[in-house]
Amino acid sequence: MPEKDPKLHDILRDDVRTLTGIGQPAESEPMPVDAAIRAVAPRPVPSIVLSVAAKDAKEVSRLLAKIPEQLDDRVARYPVKIELRFDAIPDFSGRLTAASLVFRLGVPLILTLRARREGGHSTATEPDRQRFFLSVVGALRKAPPPGSLIDVEAQAVAADPEGWGQVLQQAHERGFHVLLSHHDLEVTPEKAQALLPSPNLLDQTPGGGALLWKSATTVRTWSQDLAILRALARGNAGSRRAAIMGMETATSRLLAPFFGAPLVYAAIDRDHVVARGQIPFADMVRVWARWGIDVEDAALAATDGTPAPRWTLLGRPAYHSLSPAMHNGAARAAGRAERYFPLEVPEHTGTGSALEVFRQTLDTLPELGVRGGNATIPFKVPLAATADRLVGDAEALGAANTFLLDGDQLVAHNTDPHGVRAALEEAGAELADARVLVVGAGGAAAGAVHALRDSAGVSVTNRTTEHAQEIRDRVHGDVTVIPWQDRAAAAREATLLVQTTPLGMTGGPAPDESPLPADALREGQTLLETVYIPTMTPLMKQAEAHGVRVVGGTAMLLHQGAESFRIWTGEDPPLAAMRRDRKSVV
């Protein structure tokens, strides 16, 4: 008999039933593959599989009760399944009680009995493992909740097709679908094909075929992470049947929605991570929400046989960026199929120099369906150095933030100068007569100097004077370098201030500091702040208090992004949608 736990039942009944929209008995007729895929992966986003590895049914019930604690309106919209790791429960009756608990909730279930070599605890022989599945499936009196799966190791099935055929046939008869899985605790092969099932393997699996494929392999290098992304893109281009994940890294789990993955595994919370690289599911959904992912967005799961068209952001860090929300909103508003994902290229990759790793990443992009993208710190100069062609401002700046893959040509642009000009013009600032002081001498400063070089005069001040001199030399213009200690006096003389240091930035070196004293600010001046998190920096507050016209960093972000959109699509950017979606995540 199922263990009685009214508290758990009460808590989960409403929350989990609404969460998953389940509770109907399974069809007894075998479903066509497309309908079966819709049953196990009902939304364009992956179904989140919550792994539960507990030592007995009581512990399972305690863990299940933690699920509602993690739910908010956004998280609750995602479809979930519960993976019961039977190998963690030593006795048969405990396993059966645990399964019944999940049945009672009506949440789709994944039954797993993983051997040690597959990352589990079970030491059962293969015949024992088969007997276990037969008895557990046979003992279940009701059909499992629709979308439930039995997870069996591909290698084990290949070694004993007859024995496993019986198990899988019985599982099918009871209403389970089959997930064929592959684990490698040592390494990930760098050929994407090696991570995918051989042609027809799923359909020819004994006992009625397998519906889905899962691969979980240990990632040791960036090339291996990229191989997993390539396998995800390739494996789900025709239909959504391949859940490919890397252990030790979060990349493939975070990016799974952009490649049509049917499932992604996650932890219930921080204290219950059962495989290396798993992320608590609510955290994962919150990251996706920041990236502007909509659970019902059909463009996330394209099925025309080629990887879906994508744009990307290459950077380190990249996952915090506002650009994904802005560009995903833009693509949706414009009715376009592209979606935008950030790709955080790590510093320590196991192989190659930083530039080689960057180039290898660029080389992988076509296989991921990427047609264009952005580069941010530290890849703006490497992008310009790698491009086949530099267009417009990128050539003069020697740095690029936007690229287009045009056939086999990598074409790079720099949209920062456009962002500076358009943000200031939109605010009504007069540029031609402006006396400009740029504070800072990094990439953003170079873009600003370039954008404003035709104004009445441009000065640059920076902590490291040589960097300001380098900008002056590069622009070949009439640029004055002001010593850092003289910046307050120079600011008083200026009519337009452009702040490009990370001072005042959340997570930066000095979030509470302003690079200019309050008495350097006065009415009649305009300030362009390039920092956009937070939207109101200490300098902006000081400036507003002194009657300065203030233009925030989000305005520049919007306009440089809008120009990227124009480069990728040849269309006018949907500015209103980009403004809204960028703001919604700040």
Residues 463-492 within binding reach of ligand NAP (CB under 6 A): 463-464, 467
Q: Which is nearer to ligand NAP, 17 or 463 (CB)?
A: 463
Beta-carbon contacts of 561 under 8 Å, excluding residues fewer than 6 positions away, are 323, 326, 327, 330, 374, 415, 419, 573, 578, 582
Judged by CB under 6 A, the residue of 231, 531, 543, 551 near ligand NAP is 531
527 lies in the site for ligand NAP, by CB under 6 A: no
Q: 81, 142, 191, 380: which is the annotated catalytic residue?
A: 380
- Residue appearing with tokens 């494929």: 213
Which range binds ligand NAP by CB under 6 A, 273-281, 305-313, 471-479, 505-513? Answer: 505-513
The residue range among 100-108, 127-135, 205-213, 462-470 that interacts with ligand NAP, by the rule CB under 6 A, is 462-470
φ, ψ for residue 178, nearest 5 deg: -110, 135
Evaluate the CA torsion angle 417, 422, 427, 433 in order and state its sign.
positive
CA pair distance 418, 450, nearest whole angstrom = 10
10 Å CB burial of residue 272 (0-12, 13-18, 19+) is middle
- Contact set for ligand NAP, span 308-337 (CB under 6 A): none
Q: Which stretch binds ligand NAP (CB under 6 A): 93-101, 124-132, 217-225, 526-534?
A: 526-534
We find the least distance from the C-beta atom of residue 375 to ligand NAP, in angstroms, to be 11
Nearer to ligand NAP, 409 or 464 (CB): 464
> CA 554, CA 279: separation in Å to the nearest integer?
30
Q: Decide if 327 contacts 311 (C-beta within 8 A).
A: yes
Which residues neighbour 386 within 8 Å (Cβ) at sequence distance 6 or greater? 355, 358, 359, 362, 410, 412
- Decide if 380 is catalytic: yes
Span 259-298, contacts to ligand NAP by CB under 6 A: none
Which one of 197, 442, 538, 573 is in contact with ligand NAP (CB under 6 A)? 442
3-state secondary structure at position 223 = helix
CA 54 to chain centre: 29
Residue 528 interacting with ligand NAP (CB under 6 A):
no
Nearer residue to ligand NAP within complex by CB, 263 or 445: 445
Tell the smallest beta-carbon distance from residue 576 to ligand NAP (Å): 18
Residue with Cβ nearer ligand NAP (175 or 417)? 417
- Between 174 and 413, CB nearer to ligand NAP: 413
CB closer to ligand NAP, 190 vs 513:
513
Whose CA is closest to 210, among 174, 233, 181, 243? 181
Footprint (CB under 6 A) of ligand NAP, residues 532-561: 532, 553, 556-557, 560
Q: Write down the least CB distance from residue 312 to ligand NAP, Å.
A: 17
Specify whether the CB–CB gap between 585 and 322 falls below 8 A: yes
Residues 77-136 that bind ligand NAP (CB under 6 A): none
Query: Which residue in the set 284, 505, 540, 548 belongs to the binding site for ligand NAP (CB under 6 A)?
Result: 505
441 forms part of the interface with ligand NAP (CB under 6 A): yes
How many C-beta neighbours within 10 Å does residue 475 have?
Answer: 17
| Residues 395-434 interacting with ligand NAP (rule: CB under 6 A) | 416, 419
Binding mask 360-399 for ligand NAP (x = CB under 6 A): -----------------x----------------------
Q: Tell me which stretch binds ligand NAP (CB under 6 A): 36-44, 298-306, 333-341, 494-502.
A: 494-502
Residue listed under structure tokens 């994944």:
110
CB burial string 28-55: b at 16+ within 10 A, e below? eeebeeeebbebbbbbbbbbbbbbbbbe
Buried b (16+ CB within 10 A) or exposed e, 397-407: bebbbbbbbee
Quick one: which of 246, 249, 220 has its CA closest to 231? 246
Name which position in 25, 509, 517, 547 contacts ligand NAP (CB under 6 A).
509
Nearer to ligand NAP, 26 or 420 (CB): 420
Cα distance between residue 402 and residue 468, in whole Å? 24
DSSP 467-531: HHHHHHHHHTS-EEEE-GGGHHHHHHH-SEEEE-SSTT-TTSS-TT--SS-GGG--TT-EEEE--
Phi-psi map region of 529: left, alpha, beta (phi>0 left; psi -120 to 50 alpha): beta
Nearer to ligand NAP, 294 or 416 (CB): 416
Q: Which is nearer to ligand NAP, 57 or 558 (CB)?
A: 558
| Residue, CB closest to ligand NAP | 442
Q: Which stretch binds ligand NAP (CB under 6 A): 61-69, 119-127, 156-164, 457-465?
A: 457-465
For residue 314, the minimal CB distance to ligand NAP (Å) is: 14
* Residue of the chain from 503, 527, 539, 551 that contacts ligand NAP (CB under 6 A): 503
Q: What is the bridge-based pairing of β-strands 389-390 and 409-413?
A: parallel
Whole-number Å distance between alpha carbons of 242 and 179: 10
Query: Could you say which of 402, 462, 514, 525 contacts ligand NAP (CB under 6 A)?
Result: 462
In contact, 241 and 40? CB cutoff 8 Å: no
Q: Supply 520's token pair.
A: 């350097």
List 158, 159, 510, 545, residue binding ligand NAP (CB under 6 A): 510
Using CB under 6 A, which of 324, 502, 573, 574 touches ligand NAP? 502
User: In the complex with ligand NAP, which residue's Cβ is closer, 60 or 516?
Assistant: 516
Q: Give the whole-angstrom CA distance, residue 17 versus residue 15.
A: 6
Residue numbers at the binding site for ligand NAP (CB under 6 A) = 377, 416, 419, 440-445, 462-464, 467, 500-503, 505, 509-510, 530-532, 553, 556-557, 560
Active-site residue set: 380
